[in-house]
Amino acid sequence: MRHRLWQSICRNIIAPSRLSLANVQALLLPRGRSLPVRRHIAAIIAARVQLIAALFAVLVPLGSVADLLVFDFSTAAHMIGLRLLAAGLFVVLAWPRELSAAASYRQAMAMLVILLMVPPLFHLLSAGMLNAAAHDRTQQLLAQLYGYLPTVVLGGLAIFPLTALEIGLLALPVIVTAIVTFMTQGIQFNLVEQGGTLWFMVMMLGVAMFSGMSQCHYIASLVHRAMHDPLTGAFTRQSGEEALKLFYQLSEISGKTLSVAFIDLDRFKAINDGYGHEAGDQALRDVANRLRSSLRRSDFLIRWGGEEFMAVLPDTPPENILNLFQRLRDLGLGLRPDGMPLTASIGIACSSEADITAWPTLVNRADERMYAAKQHGRDCMVLPGGQLVRFLP
């Protein structure tokens, strides 16, 4: 029974990705997300914050009509002032802005925190005055509705793609603000009277966690499918170019060298012609797996086209390139169908070279050196400065 329940969870929640500990952890913790997934989630969070803030910037001031109709002028004026202050914050959040390449996720989360804290703080600043001014049933009803603002905020978390830990951390200041508001009213906690509200808040938090984790996983699955070549699992050229552009910008900001290795398999056409495309596909899969095994976690692999790959190596100065070469030589690229070793011609380029001022130039320079490696007899690597390194001793 327990096994069947777990399989159902995996099939309906973890799917369509393969079941793994990393996938389960990705639902609970934000650690381990790839940079493209973080960027997509950050863009979604920021866009939804701006949309909601724009709506609230219009709707919140309109609520002043109810305050004027229900409460006395002094109380209504105080509420209108708070509403205008809240609307101003919503306008600031809704204002169009571009997220920075280096800190897009932090910026999006900061926007979300501000959005979430406005309603509870509004309730904190207005609760005492509203309770004092609530004499008839209509006034008491409106004051009670304001009291549900923290709970509404917890439910609102459900529209954002967040992990369980992130939702818990974001809900914490909202809950603390609600408790502080409750305590400042001098009301003694009574499970019979306040238990329903507490249970409702817990339910909203649970719904938000389930929805947020589902959205996170769905987005990660879509990003992975859109960005990765189905045959080799490497980045597609389009997604690779986007990532390469971003990493080049980050290297300029940080001052750290970005290196690329342009890899072209030698005499690959002979495999397809002599043994069929299925053998060629298998060779490409083997090469991609071995290349990934030789790269660091911070590096990434792009299938540039056909039998061409590009390894992007952040924070890798020219003197460290030989470490990649050594790992490739130790691991090898696999075997051809006839049992002979697969070989490749590789060109290396680094962003620290004096005449490289943009990422396309970096790629073109590595491409030129790859062709130079072929002209030198293949199965070798050409480094910046023209140094030639052969794979076979």
| Paired tokens of 155 | 């439910």
Q: How many CB atoms lie within 10 A of CB 255?
A: 7
DSSP bridge pairs for 381: 346, 389
Distance CA 37, CA 42 (A): 8
Distance CA 151, CA 197 (A): 8
The whole-number pLDDT of residue 77 equals 92
Q: How confident is the model at residue 189 (pLDDT cuts 50, 70, 90)?
A: low
pLDDT tens digits for range 298-340: 898 999 999 999 999 999 988 888 888 888 888 888 888 888 8
Q: How confident is the model at residue 366 (pLDDT cuts 50, 70, 90)?
A: very high
* Average pLDDT value for residue range 105-110: 93
Q: Is the pLDDT of residue 83 over 60?
A: yes
Check if the beta carbon of residue 366 is closer than 8 Å to that of residue 261.
Answer: yes
May I ask the CATH class of domain 237-390? alpha beta
Q: For the chain, give me the number of helices (H) and strands (E)?
A: 15, 6
Distance CA 93, CA 74 (A): 29
Task: State what percent of residues in the chain have pLDDT above 90.
Answer: 40
Q: How confident is the model at residue 16 (pLDDT cuts 50, 70, 90)?
A: very low
Distance CA 220, CA 214 (A): 10
Domain-wise residue ranges, the chain: 2-227, 237-390
The whole-number pLDDT of residue 91 equals 96
The whole-number pLDDT of residue 92 equals 95
Q: Is the pLDDT of residue 33 over 90?
A: no
The CA dihedral of 284, 285, 289, 290, to the nearest 10 degrees, is: -40
State the number of CA atoms in the 13 A half-sphere of 373 facing the CB.
30
User: φ and ψ at 383, to 5 degrees?
Assistant: -95, 165
User: φ and ψ at 291, to 5 degrees?
Assistant: -65, -45
Q: Is the pLDDT of residue 206 over 80?
A: yes
Check if the beta carbon of residue 167 is closer than 8 Å to that of residue 214.
Answer: no
| Mean per-residue pLDDT over the chain, rounded | 86
The whole-number pLDDT of residue 263 equals 95
* Average pLDDT value for residue range 335-349: 91
* Average pLDDT value for residue range 154-183: 88
* Average pLDDT value for residue range 142-148: 82
Check if the beta carbon of residue 120 is closer than 8 Å to that of residue 176.
Answer: no
pLDDT tens digits for range 295-307: 988 898 999 999 9
Check if the beta carbon of residue 347 is closer than 8 Å to that of residue 287.
Answer: no
Taking CA atoms, 49 is separated from 112, 343, 378, in Å, by 6, 51, 53
Q: Is the pLDDT of residue 2 over 60?
A: no
